[in-house]
Structure formats: C-alpha cells, structure tokens
Amino acid sequence: MALEINDLCVNCWACEPLCPNKAIFAASPHFEIDPDKCTECAGDYADAQCAEICPIEGAIVDELGDALNPPGSLTGIPLQLLAEAAGSAAGTAAKT
Amino acid sequence: MELPVISNSASDAGGCSSHSCGSTADQINQIPDEILQKVFNHPCYSEDAHHHFARMHVAVAPACNIQCHYCNRKYDCANESRPGVVSELLTPDQAAKKTLVVASEIPQMSVLGIAGPGDPLANPERTFATFQMLSEHAPDIKLCVSTNGLMLPQSVDEIAKHNIDHVTITINCVDPDVGAKIYPWIFWNNKRIMGREGAAILIEQQQKGLEACIAKGILVKVNSVMIPGVNDEHLKEVSRVVKSKGAFLHNVMPLIAEAEHGTFYGLTGQRSPTQDELQALQDACAGDMNMMRHCRQCRADAVGLLGEDRGSEFTLDKIAEYELDLEGAAARRAEVRDRISAELEEKRNAKAEAPAPKLVALDMSGVAVSTPLRTVKMAVATSGGGLINQHFGHAKEFLIYEASGNGVRFVGHRKTDLYCGGGDTCGDTETTLEQTIKALEGCEVVLCSKIGYEPWGMLEEAGIAPNGEHAMEGIEDAVMAVYAEMAAAGKLVPPLDTPVQSAA
C-alpha cells in the first residue's frame, strides 16, 4: 500500500515535511515516495498528508493509478475549460 | 487665478523616474515619525527611498498552504514579471550567499525580502534559516517577509527574534463569503479545508497575526488584490479594519488574470480592473488609509531598484565563485546609506522650510469661472528629474497626473509592458503599442518629448491627445499649462459623460 508522485509534480516541497514516515524525498525530475516506507498515513492521519496539501491535481496517485485529487477537485475550474486550456497549450507548444 | 501644485517634491532618477510618486504629501505624511524612521531607507515603503535604495527577493519558500484563484503553481516563465513567479528555487545557503553578493555589488541594497514563490511561513525552516544567516553576516540589511497570514500568529515570536521589523500580509477580505470566492482551499491542522470554512479560518488567522505583529512592534503592511465583482467594494471595509488594527500601509493591487496563466480566474474569464477602477478604489481607500501607489508587483526573485530587475546578472555560478569581503561591503553600504540619508534629510528640511506650495498660474481668460472645471488625467513620459524628457516610444512606464480646479497631483504610474516581456513568443496578439494605449485608458493627454507618426494617429483615434510641445519643461507646470489651454478652449466645462460637441 503506497502512493506515488507522477510527472505532474512541480517540486514545491509542500508534501515533504508532512510525511509521518519520511517516505518522500527530493529527486529528479520530481519528488518521489519510497513505496517501502509509505503507509498512506494509515494510523497517523485520517487522510494522506501529501495528497491533502498537494496543489497540483492528478500529481499524487494510488496503486491503481487513480488520482487522489482528480482534475477540477482543487481549483474548481470546470473540466471543459481545463480541457480547452490543455488543448491550446499543446497547440502553442507545437508551434514553438 | 492661481492654482497650487498639490504634490511637489523633487527627487533624482532611479528605477522609477517619477518627479513625485504621490505618496509624500497625501499619504506618507500621515505616518508617525517613529515609523518613518524605520522605513526611510526601505524602497518599497518610502517614496523618497525607492529612488535611491535597492531591494531584492530570494526565492527560498516554494511550499504553500492555501490556494488562491489568481495563482497557478505550475506556471513559471522567465518573461513574466509578477508576484509568485520565479526562475530558480534557492536553498537557504544559496539565498544568503546571493544576498551577500548582491549587497556587495550594489551598495544601495538595503532590504532583503522573502515572498515566495509559495508562502514563507509555510516553509519556516528555510525562511528563518536564511534570515538567521543574514542577520549574522549583514546586520545592516533590513529583512522582511510577505505572507498569506495563515501561519502568522504561530510565527510572530520567531519573526521578532530575527529582527524582522516589516511584515506584509495579503488580505483580500474580512468576510468568509467573499473569501469563499477567492480561496478554494487551505491546509489546516493536517487537513485540506475547502470553501467558506477554509476562508473563515484564513481570515481569522490573518487578523490574529496582524494584531500580534502590532503588539510586538512589528510594522505591518497589507496587500490586497482588487478583483472586480468579487472584493472591489469590500476592500474599503478591509482598509478600515486593517488600519484600525494598526497596519501602516495598504497596498491595493490589480488582479492579474489571463487565460494562458491557467488560473481559475484566468480560465473562467474573471476580468482585471481597469486603471481607472483601480485608481478610484485607491482613492476611496486613501480617505482612511495610507496608500502605496508606487508598488510594482515584483517577482518573488526580483533584484535592484524598484522598477528594474537585475536578477539575471546574479546567476548561481557567479554567486558560488564570488569571494565575499563582508566588512568592505558593509562599509560601502554604510557610506552610501549615510550619503543618501543626508541628501534626503536635506531635501526634507528644504521642503519644511518652503513657505508655501509652489503656485502655478492658470490663465482663465475667456472662461466662465462660475462653472466648476472637470478633472483631467494626463500621462507623462519622463526619464527623471521632474521633466518631460522621454520619447513616447521609449517609455516603459507613464506617470499619471490629475489636473483639476484645485491644481495638479500625481495619482500613479502605469507600465507599458505590463507584466509580460515575452513579445511574440508568448502568443500575445496585441502589439506593444496597443498595450500601451490600453494602459493609458482614462487619460486625455499624453505629454512626451517626441512621438512617432504611427502612435500619434493611434492615440488620437483612442481619444488621447498626444502632446510634444512641452519637451524639457517641468511636469507640473506643463500639465497645468495644458489644462489651462483645455479650459480656454472650453473643453473642461461639460461633465465627462457629455459629448463635447453638445456643449459647443
């Protein structure tokens, strides 16, 4: 039972000091969770601390790959607008 | 008929080229002497100081404990100049070294601030380690910290320990219902708390923190982001509340929201305030609060005089190799500080001894004096010295003056490049000229030394009269001269919303 940080992570350090198991560490290109140490905060907190403070939707996932903070859940931005923004960002990137 | 120049202090050119940045006569003078003594060499707080002293921010605090609808933690761009944006995160050691290097190279350096890119007090170890090293190695440099306030009550003792005498709190509301529209969540007691409940805790902490700082004798400035339709009217109440608790300055800043920033406000089409709306709110708040009109909304890693950013000169490589001479650098700073302080003191004394404000004659011949004249805003391109001495196309910012029957006063500055310097690469469709004209909204005249053919036409089309006839003249005199011309031509009689033709 362990959580995972994916490449959406922006390396903001918010989660690192909160982990009760010291399972989170700075790495390149982004922070990682040591699966042997992670307990998903069971026994320490009601909710996984890294996922509670993480500002990036989708950056922390469980063993099934499901996001603990799915798109729109933190910012309140409607999914359609998020999709449009992602589309136009991809378009800009393709041009440059 | 003679009209007084309401705000009339001379100053040298610096990062800001203003002759007077407006905060002197009607704002800073309300501040008690003991506070003025503390802020006299702080470029962000003192109008006089920002022409002479430099500041820098170090980006050591990446983590944040709240989400604001105008912020996107994913966004970073070297071309952006706005709060919360940085290019490189520093460790406390790197930050302390960078500060000492900059303070050696730029002896005008008087202030080091930690403002993010997250919240400094959500990164207490990194923030206070940096402050600790600096108070040890460069005790003459003032330290300040800018926070969302959530962890401020718990941090006040630590702040007082590090001799940080300036704290800025960003307070956008004192009402949780308003807060719920600005803050989607906060992290509190090991839980993410959404919506109104989270906003209520944040507001309570901010107010407690403000009170605790004041009780400890720590100066508090309050920043507010003006969000039209969300907190614009409410900020007048915020101003009253924070002043009554002892904040010494209130800085109302415009929301920056573009779709490409990917923020909630950017993507949902929340608009930014117009320059006129911002000024009107600043005026409304100024009635019971000291306002701060020369704020430039710096990046969280800005370096140099206000209005300039020399951050790119101080790369990590250069900093790592640099050999410090702490004593020599401190001596150079002391020398510069003493020289500038003496100059400012002299200037203040001269002002105090001046018998009366300088008077500017307004030729009222041919004008029906019984009719009150309406107020006119004019933009001025200047590179300093209180003169109209800059080419329109070279102006990176314009100073805005307001002329009325009571005289002329400085009301603010407007950037032409706004916060993006990326040009074509950022996908902006507006040209620089279009942006500049938009920035001058609400102004009827723009005074400059020279102006090209194309901008001349576009300005006229936008209803702004270009004027190059007062090149090298003093700003206030020229503004009043143009105002007198407008009065003589009968352009000042009808109220703003009445077409000029109907009165002719």
Query: What is the extent of the structural domain holding B107?
Result: 31-327
Number of A/B CB contacts below 8 angstroms equals 71
DSSP collapsed to 3 states, B36-83: HHHHCCCCCCCCCHHHCCEEEECCCECCCCEECCCCCCCCCCCCECCC
For residue A11, the chain B residues in CB contact (below 8 A) are: 62, 89
Tell me if B79 sits within 8 A of B294, measured CB to CB: no
Does residue B350 fall inside a structural domain? no
Question: What is the distance between the alpha carbons of residues B309 and B301, in angstroms, rounded to a whole number?
Answer: 9
Other C-beta atoms closer than 10 Å to the C-beta of B368 total: 10
Number of domains in chain A: 1
Q: Low-confidence residues of chain A, pLDDT below 70?
A: 89-96
Closest CB to A12 among B73, B187, B267: B73
Contacts of B317 (CB under 8 A, 6+ apart): none
For residue B191, the chain A residues in CB contact (below 8 A) are: 46-47, 52
- Provide the CATH number for the domain around residue B308: 3.20.20.70
Chain B interface includes A96 (CB < 8 A): yes
Nearest CA in chain B to A18: B190
Q: If contacts are CB pairs under 8 Å, which of residues 29-88 in chain A contact chain B?
A: 45-47, 49, 52-53, 55-56, 74-78, 81-82, 85, 88
For residue B73, the chain A residues in CB contact (below 8 A) are: 10, 12, 55-56
What type of residue sits at position A71? P
Same structural domain, B105 and B161: yes
- For an interface test with B, the pick among A16, A18, A30, A77 (most B C-beta atoms closer than 10 Å) comes out as A77
Does residue B9 fall inside a structural domain? no
Note the pLDDT of residue B422: 47
Does residue B345 fall inside a structural domain? no
Note the pLDDT of residue B313: 83
Note the pLDDT of residue B337: 86
Same structural domain, B306 and B451: no
- Provide the CATH number for the domain around residue B478: 3.30.420.130
Question: What is the distance between the alpha carbons of residues A93 and A82, in angstroms, rounded to a whole number?
Answer: 16
Does residue B19 fall inside a structural domain? no
Query: What is the extent of the structural domain holding A81?
Result: 4-95
Q: Where are the beta strands (DSSP E) in chain A?
A: 4-5, 24-25, 32-33, 60-61
Same structural domain, B311 and B385: no
Q: If contacts are CB pairs under 8 Å, which of residues 151-190 in chain B contact chain A?
A: 184-185, 187, 190
Distance of CA B419 to the CA centre of its chain: 13
Same structural domain, B322 and B367: no
Structure tokens at A43: 């026994």
pLDDT digit string (tens) for chain B, length 504 residues: 444 444 323 333 333 333 333 333 344 445 667 776 676 667 666 656 666 788 888 889 999 999 999 998 875 544 444 555 555 789 999 999 999 999 998 888 888 999 878 999 999 999 999 999 999 999 999 899 999 999 999 999 999 988 686 899 999 999 999 999 999 999 999 999 999 999 999 999 999 999 999 999 899 999 999 999 999 999 999 999 999 999 988 889 999 888 888 899 999 999 999 988 998 898 888 764 555 665 656 655 666 666 667 777 888 888 888 999 999 999 999 998 888 888 877 777 776 665 444 444 455 554 545 567 888 999 999 877 678 988 998 888 888 899 988 888 888 888 776 444 444 444 445 677 888 888 898 899 999 999 988 889 999 999 999 999 999 998 889 999 999 999 888 888 765 454 444 443
Same structural domain, B382 and B498: yes
Cβ of A92 within 8 Å of Cβ of B63? The answer is no
- Provide the CATH number for the domain around residue A74: 3.30.70.20
Does residue B23 fall inside a structural domain? no
Tell me if B299 sits within 8 A of B82, measured CB to CB: yes
Tell me if B16 sits within 8 A of B382, measured CB to CB: no
Per-residue buried b or exposed e for A20-55, using 16+ beta carbons within 10 Å of the residue's own CB: ebebbeeeeeebebeeeebbbbeeeeeebbbbbbbb
Nearest CA in chain A to B126: A13
Query: Whose CA is closest to B15, among B298, B275, B218?
Result: B298
For residue A10, the chain B residues in CB contact (below 8 A) are: 73-74
Cβ of B262 within 8 Å of Cβ of A85? The answer is yes
Same structural domain, B95 and B214: yes
Number of domains in chain B: 2
Nearest CA in chain A to B120: A14
Does residue B354 fall inside a structural domain? no
Same structural domain, B308 and B409: no
Same structural domain, B234 and B367: no
Cβ of A77 within 8 Å of Cβ of B268? The answer is yes
Contacts of B287 (CB under 8 A, 6+ apart): none
Contacts of B420 (CB under 8 A, 6+ apart): B79, B80, B81, B426, B428
Same structural domain, B134 and B276: yes
Chain A interface includes B67 (CB < 8 A): yes
Closest CB to A53 among B74, B187, B263: B187
Same structural domain, B249 and B149: yes
Note the pLDDT of residue B57: 87
Chain A interface includes B62 (CB < 8 A): yes
Cβ of A52 within 8 Å of Cβ of B190? The answer is yes
